[in-house]
């Protein structure tokens, strides 16, 4: 696969990704979207602390990302305590 430099938004709203799907997106898709600015993960079944750790890793690895929507996921309510740790 080749990079898709024109892609700036990836809408995965209600995709029911869960932990395994988020890992696949992080490892196998995002590296090909170097200019991605917005990642919509609203309602994607992200619930665990491991999902938060992976999300932090995504934000660290992909510097072009400016906004990630995690509303509608269990991790949305855990984010503040995770950031404080």
Give residue-wise pLDDT tens across range 29-68.
999 999 999 999 999 999 998 998 999 999 999 999 999 9
pLDDT at 79: 61
Q: Is the pLDDT of residue 5 over 50?
A: yes
Strand stretches in 1-85, DSSP E: 9-11, 38-40, 67-69
Q: What global pTM score does this model have? A: 0.86
- Is the backbone of residue 32 left (phi > 0), alpha (psi -120 to 50) or beta? alpha
Of residues 85 and 3, the one with the higher pLDDT is: 3
């Amino acid at each position: 696969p080749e990079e898709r430099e024109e892609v700036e938004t990836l809408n995965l709203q209600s995709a029911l990704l869960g932990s395994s799907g988020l890992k696949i997106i992080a490892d196998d898709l995002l590296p090909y979207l170097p200019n991605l600015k917005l990642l919509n993960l609203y309602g994607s079944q992200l619930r665990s602390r491991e999902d938060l750790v992976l999300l932090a890793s995504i934000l660290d690895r992909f510097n072009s990302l400016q906004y990630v929507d995690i509303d509608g996921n269990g991790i949305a309510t855990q984010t503040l305590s995770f950031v404080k740790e």
